[in-house]
């Protein structure tokens, strides 16, 4: 049974500007394990990764019914690849029953999250 569905889209250029303005921006968005994946990537791929994770975390917060805020911080949500590279959701270090899909083009990153009850 579906508990919630969330969808988000973000302009990659908006993420680039925020990241350029603050060297700590990526630390606000990415968990330590996500940062380990992020760091070795080339610059363009880093932006896609950062924008994709931001969008996925927003989509999760919508599907969860909390939005980003006191109950659900960006650092509470983690998206890590499984052994095949599929993104898997964790919330407050617990595996989430659901699905996340992340995509990007030259200008946008988008994500959809479906949570199961």
Task: Give the span between the Cα atoms of 107 and 68, in whole angstroms.
Answer: 23
Q: Where are the alpha helices (DSSP H) in 1-117?
A: 12-21, 25-29, 32-38, 43-64
Task: Give the span between the Cα atoms of 75 and 3, in whole angstroms.
Answer: 22
17, 57, 84, 104: which is the annotated catalytic residue?
A: 104
Instruction: Write the CB contacts of 92 (distance below 8 Å, at least 6 apart in sequence).
Output: 76
62, 70, 84, 92: which is the annotated catalytic residue?
A: 62
3-state secondary structure 53-74: HHHHHHHHHHHHCCCCCCCCCH
28 is catalytic: no
92 is catalytic: no
Q: Which residues are catalytic, by number?
A: 62, 104
């Amino acid at each position: 049974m579906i508990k919630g569905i969330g969808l988000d889209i973000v302009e990659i250029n908006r993420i680039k500007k925020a990241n350029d303005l603050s060297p700590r921006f990526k630390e606000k968005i990415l968990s330590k394990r996500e940062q380990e994946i992020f760091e070795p990537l080339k610059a363009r791929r880093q932006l896609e990764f950062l924008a994709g994770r931001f969008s996925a975390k927003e989509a999760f917060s919508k599907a969860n019914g909390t939005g980003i805020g006191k109950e659900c911080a960006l650092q509470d949500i983690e998206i890590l690849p499984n052994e095949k590279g599929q993104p898997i959701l964790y919330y407050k270090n617990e595996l989430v029953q659901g699905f996340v899909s992340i995509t990007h083009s030259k200008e946008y990153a988008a994500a959809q999250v479906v949570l199961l009850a």
